[in-house]
Amino acid sequence: MPSPAVLSPAPALAAPTGTATRPRPSLVPPIRRAGVPALAAALAAAADRWLHLVEYRPDSRWTHLLPSADAAAVLDPSLHRELAAAEVWLLSWLPGQGTPLHDHGRSAGAFAVVRGSLTERVVAPGRPGRPGRESTAELTGGSVRSFGAHYVHQVTNSAPVPAISVHVYAPRLTEMNTYSFAGDRLDRTGTEQAGVDW
């Protein structure tokens, strides 16, 4: 059995006279930013507070920029700091409606499927020695997809029922680029600017 001296903690060292003592680091972990995926998930969870705003258009997807104050009203205050640098869009999708292949410029983002299901096609161009990649995923109600800047995807409602989703971007969208993808080549086909095209 070890002696009691071995089990006792070492005495604290005193600071030399005339020097300041350094405060001990806090044992509380630092606050981490939740980011756009947490905002999208929280807004989807609070959908009953904004679903009355949703409309459907037979000719094209319906989109609605949700004012920050309206988004803040349905979010926990702990997420308000995240919301200050973001923008929130509500979208509805009738069967067969979708987007072209696009990115969100310099904005990162996340979207949550609130009702129905959406099909997401993601592409990445080939690099020397590596082929291009393409994948497809079915995202059902409750699914959250997050992505970084210049993420290229296409979203479509392939289901026989309408779908609703909430999208969050940070920083706010300034442009969206559209693309074509053939083989390993991803070619930009257009650019839409905030304040001009939407």
- Dump pLDDT digits (tens) for 85-127: 999 999 999 999 999 999 999 999 999 999 999 999 999 988 8
Q: Is 64 annotated as a binding residue?
A: no
Is 8 a member of any domain?
A: no
Decide: 117 and 138 in contact? Cβ < 8 Å: yes
Is 22 a member of any domain?
A: no
Is 20 a member of any domain?
A: no
Is 96 a member of any domain?
A: yes
Is 130 a member of any domain?
A: yes
Q: What angle do CA 197, 157, 83 make, to 5 degrees?
A: 55
Q: Is 102 annotated as a binding residue?
A: yes
- At 80, which CATH number? 2.60.120.10
**CB neighbour list of residue 176: distance below 8 Å, 6 or more residues apart:** 102, 103, 104, 105, 191, 192
pLDDT above 70 covers a percentage of the chain that reads: 83
pTM score of the predicted model = 0.81
Q: Is the pLDDT of residue 142 over 90?
A: yes
Q: Is 153 annotated as a binding residue?
A: yes
Residue in 8, 13, 33, 16 with CA at minimum distance from that of residue 24: 13
Residue in 198, 171, 173 with CA at minimum distance from that of residue 36: 171
Q: Which domain holds residue 62?
A: 34-193
Is 74 a member of any domain?
A: yes
Is 9 a member of any domain?
A: no
Count the domains in the chain: 1
Is 48 a member of any domain?
A: yes
